[in-house]
Amino acid sequence: MARVELDLPEKFEFSTHIPVRISDINYGGHLGNDAVLSLIHEARVRFFKQYGFTELDVDGAGIIMTDAVIVYKSEGFHGDVLRIDITRDDFNKYGCDFFYKITNKETGAEVARAKTGIVFFNHKKKKVVSVPEKFKKRS
């Protein structure tokens, strides 16, 4: 079976640091695959917060994650501090993709790269809505 490849954009617009918690460690003694999705979720929440948004309120619209891709590059361990760089790309009428580059802050080793697709959603009406202009202008 062919491995999944994920090319990242050259520039990122946001960066945050998150330590690997003991609950992020799997039975193999390293960062678990499920924890990576949780860590990028935390990083995305921080990304939205810098603009005064939340995932439930981006100028009146919420978001829904439509897909996720994670490519693992090296191990992470309890106590490591991860740098998570984020950018957005591939905008369409209803959403865009978030790209994440996860590196070990101390060593610079790439731990993982990821992409999540999102669409904007009106939770009260239960329907997809257009990308808010205020969110687009931040790109």
What is the per-residue pLDDT across 34-44, written as a single tens digit (0 to 9) for each? 999 999 999 99
pLDDT at 11 over 70: yes
The gap between the terminal CA atoms of the chain, to the nearest Å, is 36
For domain 14-136, give the fold.
Thiol Ester Dehydrase; Chain A (3.10.129)
pTM of the model: 0.94
Predicted pLDDT of residue 82? 98
How many residues are listed for the chain in this entry?
139
Give every CB contact of residue 89 below 8 A, 6+ residues apart in sequence: 9, 96, 97, 99
Q: What is the pLDDT of residues 54-112, one digit of tens each?
A: 999 999 999 999 999 999 999 999 999 999 999 999 999 999 999 999 999 999 999 99
pLDDT for res 139:
53
Two tokens at 131? 């990308």
Domain ranges of the chain: 14-136
**Contacts of residue 118, Cβ cutoff 8 Å, sequence gap at least 6:** 63, 64, 65, 66, 95, 96, 97, 98
CA 29 from chain centre, in angstroms, equals 23
